[in-house]
Amino acid sequence: MLQRMKRFHQVMTNDRLSVEQFIDDSLSYGHSNGWIENRNEFYNNLGGKITYHSIKEDSVRISVNKNVAHARFVADLDVSMDGKRYMFHLRVLEVWVKQKKNWKLFARQAIR
């Protein structure tokens, strides 16, 4: 699960086309400013409205219960939003579901 989560974050920074294999159809992706995206909005905004240059996780804690897992971590994000560059230090909760053999991101929420 940890490797899958880290790989997803890497893909977000450099391989937008591969992101789809990591996200559930029912994705709810919450940002620290209150902005919430569904799966299509997240995918369509990635690399356009918002570009992730780097994502660094720290203090990762993962709990798995059968086909559901949650990951809590502190993240340092280097992003561009609408053409402006920002650095964020956030606390993040991600909920993952296992479908067949792969973990997919079901929900994410970040706070400052």
pLDDT in tens, 27-81: 999 999 999 999 999 999 998 899 999 999 999 999 999 999 999 999 999 999 9
Tell me the C-alpha distance between 95 and 97, whole Å: 7
Average pLDDT, the chain: 95
Domain residues of the chain, as ranges? 2-111
Query: Which structure tokens are listed for 86?
Result: 């920002």
Burial code of 23-54, b = ≥16 C-beta within 10 A, e = fewer? bbeebbbbbbeeeebebeebbeebbeebbbee
Does position 17 have pLDDT exceeding 90, yes or no?
A: no
- 2-111, CATH topology level: Nuclear Transport Factor 2; Chain: A, (3.10.450)
Query: Which structure tokens are listed for 70?
Result: 């949650």
Res 79: pLDDT: 96
pTM of the model: 0.94
* Position with higher pLDDT, 17 vs 19: 19
Res 8: pLDDT: 97
